[in-house]
């Protein structure tokens, strides 16, 4: 019996629809039961694991799933965090995908004077990405404090919790609506297809090797 290839995708969020659409366009069909964590492909020996996006890098790095589709922002943040605590943090990056595009930026309240990054010295920056933020600050010789939040980052300055934010931006409307001005892009991201670093069975690897040119074809057709 062929072993089933497992792919982790975001259950519900900004990457879900396009992740499924990509697989579909590659001929890998699923019928999704919203309540279920696992979906079995009806066309291939492939199982989908539908989880929070934050869990996807770890599942791949721990070899729990074979492939994952996740934003590079989350991937790099989790990698840095796992490296810091000594957990396995290896993976293979198979493809950069053409969806999920966004940037991680530092923004300050409109009325805050800001000329250069070093104006943030000694300030508090609210973010969901403490590792990416601190790496950037360190590289630029700035010492600011992380205020770690898992959500509602954009309201932190108004609530008096922080002097600045470091948040994902796509159109900029959210920053604008919260009286914040984007000052510095610290990371640019799109969705990535990643593979666990373990050697997979010949069956699984063959399936991946078949999938990749199809993904390239689908992406090329969209250009």
Residues of this chain that bind Zn ion (CB under 5 A): 53-54
Note whether 196 binds ligand PRT by CB under 6 A: no
Q: Quick check: 195 and 208 in contact, CB under 8 A?
A: yes
Applying CB under 6 A, does 52 fall inside the site for ligand PRT?
Answer: yes
Binding mask 105-144 for ligand PRT (x = CB under 6 A): ----------------------------------------
Give the torsion sign (CA, 65, 188, 166, 89). Answer: positive
Window contacting ligand PRT (CB under 6 A); options: 8-16, 132-140, 195-203, 210-218: 8-16
Residue of 5, 7, 8, 10 interacting with ligand PRT (CB under 6 A): 10
Residue pair 36/29 in contact by the 8 Å Cβ criterion: no
Distance CA 96, CA 82 (A): 22
Residue 172 binding ligand PRT, by CB under 6 A: yes
Report in angstroms how near the CB of residue 42 gets to Zn ion at its nearest: 28
Q: Which of 5, 71 has the CB closer to ligand PRT?
A: 71
Our finding on whether 63 is near ligand PRT (CB under 6 A) is no
Q: Output the CA angle 187-192-194, nearest 5 degrees.
A: 125
Per CB under 6 A, 188 contacts ligand PRT: no
Residue of 7, 8, 74, 126 interacting with ligand PRT (CB under 6 A) = 74
Nearest by Cα to 50 from 62, 37, 69, 61: 37
Report in angstroms the alpha-carbon separations of 69 from 48, 111, 131, 191. Answer: 11, 39, 21, 7
- Which one of Zn ion, ligand PRT, none is in contact with 172 (Cβ closer than 5 to 8 A by kind)? ligand PRT
What are the strands, taking DSSP E only, across 100-179? Answer: 102-109, 124-127, 145-148, 164-169
As measured in angstroms, the least distance from the Cβ of 34 to Zn ion is 18
Task: List phi, psi (to 5°) of 155.
Answer: -95, -5
- Binding residues vs ligand PRT (CB under 6 A): 10, 13-15, 52-54, 71, 73-74, 100, 102, 167-174, 189
């Amino acid at each position: 019996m062929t072993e089933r290839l497992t792919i982790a995708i975001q259950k519900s969020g900004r990457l879900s629809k396009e992740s499924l659409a990509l697989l579909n366009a590659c001929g890998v069909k699923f019928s999704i039961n919203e309540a279920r964590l696992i979906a079995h492909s009806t066309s291939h020996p492939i199982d989908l694991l539908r989880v929070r996006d934050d869990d996807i890098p770890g599942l791949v790095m721990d070899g729990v799933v074979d492939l994952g589709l996740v934003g590079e922002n989350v991937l790099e943040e989790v990698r840095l965090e796992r490296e810091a605590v000594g957990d396995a943090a290896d993976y293979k990056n198979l493809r950069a995908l053409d969806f999920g595009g966004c940037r991680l930026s530092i923004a300050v309240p409109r009325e805050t004077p800001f000329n250069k990054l070093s104006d943030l010295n000694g300030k508090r920056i609210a973010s969901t990405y403490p590792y990416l933020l601190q790496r950037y600050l360190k590289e630029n010789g700035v010492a600011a404090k992380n205020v770690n939040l898992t959500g509602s980052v954009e309201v932190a300055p108004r609530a008096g919790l922080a002097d600045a934010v470091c948040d994902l931006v796509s159109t900029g409307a959210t920053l604008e609506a919260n009286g914040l001005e984007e000052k510095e892009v610290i990371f640019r991201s799109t969705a990535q297809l990643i593979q666990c670093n373990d050697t997979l069975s010949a069956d699984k690897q063959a399936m991946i090797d078949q999938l990749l040119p199809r993904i390239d074809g689908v992406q090329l057709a969209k250009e």
